[in-house]
Structure 1
Amino acid sequence: MNTISKLTIAGVLSLGLFTAQSCVQDDDYATPPIECNLPSPNISLADLVSKVTAGSIKLDANKAIAEDLIVQAYVISSDETGNFFKTISLQDKVENPTTGIQIEIDGSNLYNSYPLGAQVQINLKGLIVANDRGVMKIGSVDPQYTVGRIPSAVMSTYMVKTCEAIQTIKPKVVSSLTDALKPENLNTLVTIEGVQFSDPDGDKTYGVSGATVNRVIVDKKGKETDLLNSGYATWYADVLPKKSGSITVVVSRYNSTYQVFIRDTKDVKFDQPRFDVGGGQNPGGGNDTEAANLLFKGSDFNVWADFLSSINSFGLVKDTYATSGVGVGRDNTNALLLKGTPKANDYVFTTIVNNTIPAAPKKITFYVKGTSGKSLSLNVYKSDKKYVVYNVGDLSNANVSLSPIDANQYTGKIDTKGEWVLVTLNIEGVDIQKTAGENIFALKVGKDEAYDLVIDNIKID
């Protein structure tokens, strides 16, 4: 562990630590604090994140900060009820923050030293600051991890609570999950209005003993996200509210997938009647609602064996980039995961007719989430055993409707910004194959570019 060695910084900070510990002897934070004489911060949280991202901060041989940098921020999470574990989320302002960050600490009961609303000062020299699986974090040097946990025994060497009075953090208020789940809101406190639990009757409680579980929240437009709840939280066995309302969360992300955390069930204020998602059309419904018209058996990918049994004699692509994505589907069940760099313009799979095909179908739809350097090409087979081609092209976080083109193409890039995007293939007027056992649908990828996509719920209407 690289500790503070510069006399000028260490001396001032040590004085600050001594004063900080002596200026408030108890936890009566309402008492006006006295001056703690801490050194002034010399970098903002926003500048820190920007410079780390750009690689413009001097690092030592261990990739730790080599400069005497001091940053100041406010505590917005708490491990008091057990839903946060060995981590604290910080944001740069009490209200309307611009930047948030997470600090890793190998200790418990952190709320005693760093309570909600406290202003803290962090001396960054010797610490790691890096993006770890989608979230910017501060931590220690640990060869096993991108960002390690700072040992609690030396934590006060790096982070101290200032003597500023405890503040009431004012969450940013938004009216949809789309507005909440944005990069600028990571590790900040956000209140989302007009949401409800997707399946309170089925899930029953916030969590289960001893394990972290996801409980899906959904907004009025059908957008969903996971609320992560620890089985060690004091409230894990509390019954999920069945009404709708607002929820105050710390926004987080795992790789490209957004997720949220509450500090306590007091953050959940569901006191309004439940609403019909998407005006009753349920565009954000999960596998249970979307599986009514599956194009082929297993096209919701929940049962991998069903999917494999629907593929023609050529089988699944021999390369290993196409696998079962366990738990990454639209309702936390399973999906098709494409993760790797294809060496050829591969047919990932071609499926046969083994489900009932409507007499005059108008569209085939499926959901996509993730990124890829090239796009997807889809083949829909006709009764004459020839096929029509659809190229997804450039795909962002907006739903698309596609018409046939002349040949397979892989031009375009995909980046759904961590959201599920609905892709619709217009097959109205296509004499689609209906004979059992004949080819009906194929998915192709382009070569020599990385794919990190999740595909779910291929259906026909």
Structure 2
Amino acid sequence: MNSINLKKLISVLVLAVTFTACVQDDDFKTPPLSIDEPNIDGIVIGVDAVLGILAQEVADEGEDAKVTFEDTNNYVEGYVVSNDKAGNFFEEFVIQDSAENPSGGLRVLIDVNPLFTTYEFGRKIFIKLDGLSVGIENGVATLGVLSGDEVDKIPSFSQNDFIQRSAEVADITPLEITMADFSDDLTNLYIKINNVQFNRNDVLGDNPLTFAGEPSDEFDGERNLESCDSGAIAVLSTSTFADFKGLTLPTQQGSFEGILTKNFFGDTFNLVLNDPTGLVFDNENRCDPNVLECDGTSGGANVVFEEDFTGLSISDLENSGWLNVNTTGGSLDYIVGSFSGNQYAQISGFNSGESPFEVWLVTPEIDLTASTAEELSFDIQANFDNGNILTAFITDNFTGDVTTTEWSQLDATIPNGNPNGFGSFESVGPVNISCVEGNVRIAFRYAGADPGPTTRYHIDNIEISGN
């Protein structure tokens, strides 16, 4: 090789190394390739048609029914509304039937990662249905290949056999809904919910929560989003593999944009972000409830009231003046539970089928006329936590009916628990109640829905002390 050619080769190598060093691995984008509109040699049907076929099979065979497409020559068309770039989706994407005002969506499983470089947000695609199956997996309509009695991932080597890209990349307009609108028909759609915030217990304390970076987060972090319009609660689920899992939750209120889906078990609606930009929390004015604020010091050596539930049944409590009231007409109520000899008040809406439910546990009348500087404390164990739905109240004017009584919410931070099992008892308080006088009652309101937030709570060691 002569010296001129050697110099050229060295120059090319230097340029190549310099160019490569300037490119960040995580900055790659979809190559600007020219895509021709595919020639679909078959019948194009909508997502709603696929969902309708599945609904007929489910009506005949039950929720585990699957539909396998054979010799239909059908293709389903849809727009991609998920994005796995931030790691919050893995080997799956979500399509809906139209770029705006969608009415149906499908989750598509495929053994390919990443997907956003090929099926970016807004890309219109066509999926050949013959050879694929659709069924309800994790509570939502899912398309893939049948493996045993489950819908599984399309193999990577079959990707191009089944999926074709359109030249169209649409601007997706999120479907604006409220939490009250949640239904199976709206799952797998790109939605927007306005006027929401994270629970104050999660973001305003000394240790605000991250999206999914807490020691108790396994597979997913589940955080409560509250509606400032209705007070309803929804669960935001974030994968522990998401690259934003360690970010702290925003303290403001604003809007959510993302996918409505369900949790792994398919029994609770979940909200999932494509990335953190789906939360536009730009309103500094939170909508937290007004809580009782008593000035001055509190606490003393005298126990005014206490209850540890030892040796008692729920009927014993009711006979001694406690109230156990379901205000939504269902049968769900508090019971006395026990573990390793310890007893406590217990409630769980799981498998109750009540949606919504609201259950109150109210103490007997407590006389504070002979004491001062009172404060309240109690212990809480939160278990299978999928939403913070317990609230403590006080009143000095009980009407005999929890729905007509004027209650003051206590500034009591209810602890979060293990989303996948039993938590540990944690102390709540002391809460200063010294500005409430006379005969008072303390209440614990449990309000959620099944399906929806159904966290199981154990309440123990309720105590009021003072001078």
Pairwise TM-score range, normalised by the shorter structure: 0.5 to 0.7
The normalised TM-score by structure 2 is 0.56
Contact 2:57 2:67 in 1 (8 A): no
Deviation at 1:454, TM superposition (A): 5.3
1:282-310 deviation per Cα after TM superposition (whole angstroms, max 9, x unaligned): 9xxxxxxxxxxxx9868xxxxxxxxxx66
Alpha carbons of structure 1 residues 351 and 156: separation in structure 2 relative to 1, 3 Å: farther
Cα distance 1:85–1:296, how it changes in 2: closer, same or farther (>3 A)? Answer: farther
- The letter of the residue matching 1:353 is L
* 3-state SS of paired residue (1:141): strand
The 5-angstrom pairing of residues 44-193 of structure 1 reads 44-55=46-57, 64-68=68-72, 69-143=74-148, 146-163=150-167, 165-174=168-177, 176-179=178-181, 181-193=182-194
- Tell me which of 222, 241, 261 is aligned to 2:272: 261
Structure 1 counterpart SS, 2:151 = coil
1:376 aligns with 2:381: no
Whether the 8 Å CA contact 1:367–1:456 is kept in 2: the answer is no
1:246 is aligned to 2:255: yes
Change (3 A) 1:219 1:454: closer
**5 Å matches for 1:359-374?**
364-365=324-325
Q: Deviations over 1:259-288 (max 9, x none)?
A: 0100111111101024334x5489xxxxxx
**Alignment: residue pair count:** 310
Larger relative contact order, structure 1 or 2 (CA cutoff 8 Å, min sep 6): 2
Tell me how far apart the structure 2 counterparts of residues 296 and 157 of structure 1 sit (CA, whole Å). 67
* Alpha-carbon distance change, 56 to 454 in structure 1, aligned in 2, over 3 angstroms: closer
In structure 1, stretches of 5+ residues that fail to align are 1-25, 283-294, 299-308, 313-349, 370-374, 381-393, 403-417, 430-450
**Deviations for 1:200-231, whole angstroms, at most 9, x for unmatched residues?**
24443212188421121111222111111122
**Does the C-alpha gap of structure 1 residues 241 and 269 become closer, same or farther in structure 2, counting only changes over 3 Å?**
same
Aligned letter for 1:77? S
More strand by share: 2
Question: 1:383 — aligned with what?
Answer: none
Letter in 2 for 1:188: L
Identity over aligned pairs, percent? 20
Runs of 4+ in 1 over 6 A off after TM superposition: 56-59, 377-380, 418-422
Matches within 5 A, 1:317-356: 352-353=316-317
The alpha-carbon deviation at position 113 of structure 1 amounts to 1.5
Equivalent position amino acid for 2:271 in 1 = V
Corresponding residue for residue 378 of structure 2: none
Q: Where does the alignment leave 5 or more consecutive residues of structure 2 unmatched?
A: 1-29, 293-305, 336-351, 361-385, 391-397, 402-450, 463-467
The 2-side partners of 1:141 and 1:154 are apart by 14
Q: How far off its partner does 1:428 sit?
A: 3.3
Kindly state the Cα deviation for residue 427 of structure 1 after the two structures are TM-superposed: 10
The DSSP-based 3-state class of the residue aligned with 2:119 is coil
Q: Which has the larger radius of gyration?
A: 2
Per-residue CA deviation, residues 285-337 of structure 1 (Å, 9 max, x unaligned), is xxxxxxxxxx9868xxxxxxxxxx6665xxxxxxxxxxxxxxxxxxxxxxxxx
| CA 1:281–1:142: 2 relative to 1, 3 Å | farther
User: For 2:332 and 2:60, how far apart are their aligned partners in 1?
Assistant: 45
SS at match of 2:171: coil
Letter in 2 for 1:64: T
Q: Secondary structure at the match of 2:158?
A: helix
Q: Does 1:428 align with 2:400?
A: yes
Counterpart for residue 303 of structure 1: none
Aligned pairs for 1:296-315 within 5 A? 312=313
Deviates more, 1:69-78 or 1:210-219: 210-219
User: C-alpha separation between the residues in 1 aligned to 2:389 and 2:328?
Assistant: 5
CA contact (8 A) 1:244 1:274 kept: yes
